[in-house]
A = this chain, B = another copy of it.
Amino acid sequence: MEKLKKYASVKDEDQFYHQGAVELLVFNFLLILTILTIWLFKKHRFRFLHETGGAMVYGLVMGLLIRYATKASNVENGTVYECEKLESGPSTLLLNITNQVYEYQYKREISHHNINGHQGNAMLQKMTFDPSIFFNILLPPIIFHAGYSLKKRHFFRNLGSILTYAFLGTAISCIVIGLIMYGFVKAMVHIGQLKAWEFHFTDCLFFGSLMSATDPVTVLAIFHELHVDTDLYTLLFGESVLNDAVAIVLTYSISIYSPKENPNAFDAAAFFQSVGNFLGIFAGSFAMGSSYAVVTHLTKFTKLCEFPMLETGLFFLLSWSAFLSAEAAGLTGIVAVLFCGVTQAHYTYNNLSSDSRMRTKELFEFMNFLAENVIFCYMGLALFTFQNHIFNPLFIFGAFVAVFIARACNIYPLSFLLNLARKQKIPRNFQHMMMFSGLRGAIAFALAIRDTGSQPKQMMFTTALLIVFFTVWVFGGGTTPMLTWLQIRVGVDPDEDLKGQAASQSASKLDKNTTKAESAWLFRVWYAFDHRYLKPILTHAGPPLTTTLPEWCNPVARLLTSPSAYGDQLKNEDTGYIINNDELSENYESSAHTLGPKQERTGCTQATGKEDICEGDLGLGTYELRLEHTSCQRQLNSLA
- Residues on A facing B (Cβ under 8 Å): 2-3, 6-10, 12-14, 16-22, 24-25, 28-29, 31-32, 35-36, 38-39, 42-43, 74, 76-83, 85-98, 100-112, 115, 119, 122, 125, 132, 135-136, 252, 255-256, 258, 260, 263, 302-304, 307, 309-310, 312-314, 317-318, 320-321, 323-325, 327-328, 330, 333, 358-359, 362-363, 365-366, 369-370, 450-451, 453, 633, 636-637, 639-640
Contact = CB atoms under 8 A, between A and B. Distances in A.
A42 to B, nearest CB: 6
Nearest to A368: B309
A102 to B, nearest CB: 4
Given A39-B302, A333-B21, A92 B77 contact: yes
Which of A13, A93, A636 counts the most B-chain CB atoms under 10 A from its CB? A93
A77 B104 contact: no
DSSP majority for the A interface?
helix
B96 A81 contact: yes
Nearest to A637: B640
Given A96-B80, A363-B363, A18 B104 contact: no
Number of this chain's copies in the assembly equals: 2
29 contacts: A13-B255, A16-B451, A18-B327, A21-B333, A24-B320, A25-B328, A32-B318, A36-B314, A39-B304, A74-B90, A77-B91, A79-B94, A80-B94, A80-B95, A81-B83, A83-B97, A86-B97, A87-B97, A88-B98, A92-B107, A93-B95, A94-B115, A102-B110, A103-B107, A313-B369, A313-B370, A359-B366, A362-B363, A636-B639
Contact of A132 (B19, B111, B260, B369): B19
Contacts of A135: 17
A206 to B, nearest CB: 11
Given A6-B263, A24-B320, A78-B94, 12 more contacts: A12-B453, A13-B451, A14-B256, A16-B451, A28-B317, A35-B313, A81-B86, A86-B97, A92-B107, A92-B125, A104-B107, A640-B640
Contacts of A43: 303
B91 A122 contact: yes
Nearest to A24: B324
Contacts of A362: 359, 362-363
Contacts of A25: 321, 324-325, 328
A133 to B, nearest CB: 8
B307 A42 contact: yes
Contacts of A370: 313
A89 B97 contact: yes
